[in-house]
Amino acid sequence: MRPFEYERPSELAQATSLLAEHGPEARPIAGGTDLIIRLRDGSLRPRVVVDVKGIDELDGDIRDDDGYLRFGALTTMTEVAANSRVKRDYPALVESALFVGSVQIRNRATLVGNMCNASPAADTAPALLAYGALIVATGPSGTRHLPLEEFFVRSGVTTLARGELVVAIELPNPTSPRGSVHLRRTRRRGHDLASVTLACAVTPDGKTRIAYGSVGPRPVLAIDDSGRLADPTLPDTDKAGLLDQLFAGASPSPTSMRASPEYRLAMLRVLGLRGVKSAIDRLASAQA
């Protein structure tokens, strides 16, 4: 690994000022399960690595905050998957967190880091998009909240400004019963990156939120509020056409090693139908 400077600030303002000062030459580290691989293979060569785990204002807590469930920047995938509140209200997030790496990776990898790494295949991104997640970012000019769908640009690139650090992710509390699910397609069972990943949430007002990843430069959120996708009586052949419109944001890379574009798009349609059906079934049992 190439040498770098290591800073472990104790205050948020010190961290954001280090990030502002060094810009692209600085990289924050939380869990490090993606970053250290890229430091070692040389694809990232920062001059300074800023460890955010010593910052007093940051935590790994999952707690209620004024209508939202708030995940601190240091919350690990293991903590997400084990939290009873998340299990009850955001089951697709639990399912996706349990797909991340192995026990060892989940003990270290953070939910916020999975977003900041901005991989198109980020396992937890579709579930967070489907649940309407907000990114909370703090930088030299203050703190702002932005919808997660405005955060991703392309692999490894986000809309964070120079000096900004994500301090939390917030999920709005459910306002009605909801059926939701996360599905993914991999080359093999177990520890693998996703070829297609998809989350779906259906509510009694007929709204279907469907989010998908690993089929383009960034995870995508699409919403159907016609009520037709959520209709348990509408045949799959009709739903397939509706889903194709929602999947317009998919543009899989022809050069990926994991799967061909044709395969990914075909599997996206399969997961779409399965996801909608499963979400409808879960909504029905939530209302039973």
Partner 1 sequence: MTIRRRPLELTVNGRSRSIEVLAHHTLLDVLREDLGLTGTKECCLVGECGACTVLLDGHSVDSCLVLGVEADGASVTTVEGLAIDGRLSPVQRSFLETGAAQCGFCIPGQLVSAHALLADVAHPTRAQVEEGLAGNLCRCAGYEQIIEAVLIAADATDGDVIADDDLAARSAMLRMLGDRAATPDADLAPQ
Q: Which residues bind partner 1 (CB under 8 A)?
A: 1-6, 8, 29, 32-33, 36-37, 39-40, 47, 49, 51, 53, 78, 101-105, 107-108, 190-191
Nearest distance, CB of residue 239 and partner 1, angstroms = 33
Residue 186 has phi, psi (to 5 degrees) of -130, 170
Size (the chain), residues = 288
Output the smallest distance, CB 135 to partner 1, in A.
24
In the complex with partner 1, which residue's Cβ is closer, 1 or 248? 1
Q: What's phi and psi for 123, nearest 5 deg?
A: -60, -40
Question: In 187-259, at which residue ranges do the beta strands (DSSP E only) sit?
Answer: 194-202, 208-213, 220-224
CB of 167 to partner 1, least distance (A): 19
- Chain centroid to Cα 121, Å, comes to 9
Give the separation between CA 227 and CA 230, rounded to whole angstroms. Answer: 5
Nearer to partner 1, 32 or 126 (CB): 32
List the end-to-end C-alpha distance of the chain, in Å, as a whole number. Answer: 56
Angle 127-12-128 from CA coordinates, rounded to 5°: 5
**Strand pairing class (48-51; 5-7):** parallel
Least spacing, CB of residue 35 vs partner 1, in Å: 9
Between 218 and 258, name the residue whose CB sits nearer to partner 1. 258
Closest approach of partner 1 to the CB of residue 180, in Å? 22
Question: For residues 25 and 225, which CB has a smaller minimum distance to partner 1 in the complex?
Answer: 25
Pick the closer one to partner 1 by CB: 37 or 161.
37
Structure tokens given for 256 = 């990926």
